[in-house]
């Protein structure tokens, strides 16, 4: 089935002459990869009616992507269709959530089978799916990580992990990174000026460890910057550890509750840590009586390719793992998995969760694990993800505004800068104009980073190399268009 492109998209695809580093180049866009799935006709409310209801019936604080938002109607594997029939290559996966593919047949069938038996009963009763799934899920985790607490979202799971850490240690301080993201609950997150909130209810006050942007250093994957560190040494790691030491010495009590870290920062812009940093950080926190929490909401379930869990890429063993998003391929499901010793701390108070461990959610989660094994999604993340990174690295070499390409597996960030020498971020409106063009040409990506200048590329793990070629070509065309317009504006100003 050939893509149905809007007039704006067709217009964007015309005209091959554009600029890269001030030199006129020609790029050829491939056809959108074929898809043999036929979406059903849309018969719902109109786009205009939906926009009106969104503005009047939904919270005005709701984030909406794009100047003309996409109204998605149907999905199949790595593809989405809007209500107008336009097909999109989904490189954002519902914010890193659709792991094995939109409406994967086996996952869908598992949900239907469970719906015929039992939709819901609270977990104060026993039902087979929750026990079967807990056994299966913990078999994927190493060491003594064997006790599950099921919730509905990553935010809820992170809140529960925070509570458990404080109950277990008897301490209050939680250490996390300034550039981190652990959900949209009462725990602090970004303010409008992109600075971490450190106020708020006392129950949730954390100590934020000021993680410096690693783009300033020499240890990013696929980097083209030289490193002046001596063999076996890492200046970036040492600087980060010194910052953590200062936080522990001057900003916390003698004992801390825990240390929270994503193996690779997601919303923060695919930020990776210097080699060896996380392992030494874990040791420092444990010396102060704290537990170490791995936030695998975005990095888990094979997305990084080389390992099933992101923390394994750092050769560390956390005391607690928080997981969500890809765990249910988009179905509301999340979990905290910890050791029997830490789990025992929760018996100090009554705890239950009305929907956590819902029968349908557990059936879906179990099917997702089966599909990951059968479809080889982890290996595909390694193979296709590496190919994707290398193809995007060509854009970094080609365009002056592509400051960095980084990531691992199918968790990728492309950082846009105004100047490669100073690493000054590309202004927000400029980033948005490129991002909007990419959408208009049929590709959906995310946007994040501390300055909002990082394209977040985290597709369903069924992505193919043919999809990558198309996605990179679209991103290249949008960047070329921006560079051409910038050159024309500068020329007009001179004249």
Do 310 and 326 fall within a single domain?
A: yes
Q: To 10 degrees, what angle do helices 377-398 and 465-494 make?
A: 20
Contact 158, 185 (CB under 8 A): yes
Determine, yes or no, domain membership for 250: yes
Domain edge (last residue) among 356, 375, 394 = 375
Do 222 and 348 fall within a single domain?
A: yes
Place of tokens 């890492």: 234
Do 142 and 74 fall within a single domain?
A: no
CATH of residue 254: 3.40.640.10
Domain edge (last residue) among 357, 375, 393 = 375
Do 57 and 109 fall within a single domain?
A: no
Pick the closest to residue 19 from 425, 492, 489, 495 (CA basis): 489
Do 357 and 381 fall within a single domain?
A: no
Do 184 and 91 fall within a single domain?
A: no
Per-residue pLDDT of the chain (495 residues; tens, 9 = 90+): 334 444 334 444 443 344 444 444 555 677 899 999 999 999 999 999 999 999 999 999 888 999 999 999 999 999 999 999 999 999 999 999 999 999 999 999 999 999 999 999 988 899 999 999 999 999 999 999 999 999 999 999 999 999 999 999 999 998 988 778 888 775 544 333 332 333 222 333 355 555 544 444 444 444 555 667 777 777 888 888 998 999 898 888 889 999 999 999 999 899 998 889 999 999 999 999 999 999 999 999 999 999 999 999 999 999 999 999 999 999 999 999 999 999 999 998 788 899 999 999 999 999 999 999 999 999 999 999 999 999 999 999 999 999 999 999 999 999 999 988 888 999 999 999 999 999 999 999 999 998 999 999 999 999 999 999 999 999 999 999 999 999 998 888 887
Do 113 and 91 fall within a single domain?
A: no
245 phi-psi bin (left φ>0, alpha ψ -120 to 50, beta other): alpha
Do 34 and 144 fall within a single domain?
A: no
Do 213 and 90 fall within a single domain?
A: no
Determine, yes or no, domain membership for 1: no
Determine, yes or no, domain membership for 2: no
Determine, yes or no, domain membership for 186: yes
Do 342 and 381 fall within a single domain?
A: no
CATH of residue 84: 3.90.1150.10
Do 178 and 302 fall within a single domain?
A: yes
Do 144 and 56 fall within a single domain?
A: no
Determine, yes or no, domain membership for 95: yes
The two tokens of residue 283 are 């040791």
Determine, yes or no, domain membership for 228: yes
CA dihedral 359, 362, 368, 371 (to 10 degrees): -70
What's the domain range around 350?
A: 105-375
Domain edge (last residue) among 355, 375, 395 = 375
Determine, yes or no, domain membership for 19: yes
pTM of the shown model: 0.88
Q: Total structural domains in the chain?
A: 2
């Amino acid at each position: 089935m050939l893509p149905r492109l809007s007039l704006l998209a067709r217009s964007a695809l015309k005209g091959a002459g554009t600029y890269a580093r001030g030199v006129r180049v020609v790029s050829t866009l491939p056809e959108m990869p074929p898809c043999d799935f036929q979406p059903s006709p849309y018969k719902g409310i109109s786009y205009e009616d939906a926009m009106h209801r969104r503005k009047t019936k939904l919270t005005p604080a709701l984030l909406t992507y794009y100047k003309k938002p996409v109204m998605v109607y149907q999905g199949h594997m790595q593809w989405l269709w809007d209500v107008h029939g336009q097909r999109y290559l989904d490189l954002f996966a519902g914010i890193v959530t659709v792991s094995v593919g939109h409406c994967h047949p086996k996952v869908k069938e598992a949900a239907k089978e469970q719906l015929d038996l039992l939709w819901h009963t609270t977990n104060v009763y026993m039902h087979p799916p929750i026990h079967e799934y807990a056994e299966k899920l913990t078999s994927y985790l190493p060491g003594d990580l064997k006790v599950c607490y099921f919730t509905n979202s990553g935010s809820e799971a992170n809140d529960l992990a925070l509570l458990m850490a404080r109950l277990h240690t008897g301490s209050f301080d939680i250490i996390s990174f300034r550039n981190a993201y652990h959900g949209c609950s009462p725990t602090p997150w970004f303010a409008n000026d992109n600075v971490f909130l450190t106020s708020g209810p006392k129950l949730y006050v954390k100590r934020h460890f000021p993680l410096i942007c690693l783009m300033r250093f020499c240890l990013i994957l696929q980097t083209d910057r030289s490193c002046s560190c001596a063999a076996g040494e890492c200046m970036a790691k040492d600087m980060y550890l010194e910052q953590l030491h200062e936080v522990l010495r001057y900003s916390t009590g003698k004992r801390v509750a825990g240390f929270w870290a994503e193996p690779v920062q997601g919303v923060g812009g695919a930020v990776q840590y210097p080699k060896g940093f996380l392992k030494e950080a874990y040791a420092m926190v444990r010396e102060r009586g704290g537990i170490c929490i791995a936030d695998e909401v975005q990095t888990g379930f094979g997305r990084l390719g080389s390992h099933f869990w992101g923390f394994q890429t750092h050769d560390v063993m956390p005391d607690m793992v928080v997981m969500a998003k890809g765990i249910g391929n988009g179905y509301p499901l999340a979990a905290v998995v910890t050791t029997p010793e830490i789990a025992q701390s929760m018996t100090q108070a009554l705890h239950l969760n009305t929907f956590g461990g819902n029968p349908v959610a557990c059936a879906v989660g179990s099917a997702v694990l089966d599909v990951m094994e059968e479809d080889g999604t982890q290996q595909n993340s390694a193979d296709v993800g590496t190919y994707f990174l290398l193809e995007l690295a060509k854009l970094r070499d080609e365009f002056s505004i592509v400051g960095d390409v980084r990531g691992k597996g199918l968790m990728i960030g492309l950082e846009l800068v105004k100047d490669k020498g100073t690493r000054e971020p590309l202004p927000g409106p400029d980033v948005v104009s490129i991002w909007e063009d990419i959408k208009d040409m049929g590709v959906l990506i995310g946007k994040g980073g501390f300055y909002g200048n990082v394209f977040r590329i985290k597709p369903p793990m069924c992505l193919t190399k043919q999809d990558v070629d198309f996605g990179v070509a679209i991103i290249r065309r949008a960047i070329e268009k921006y560079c051409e317009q910038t050159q024309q504006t500068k020329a007009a100003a001179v004249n």
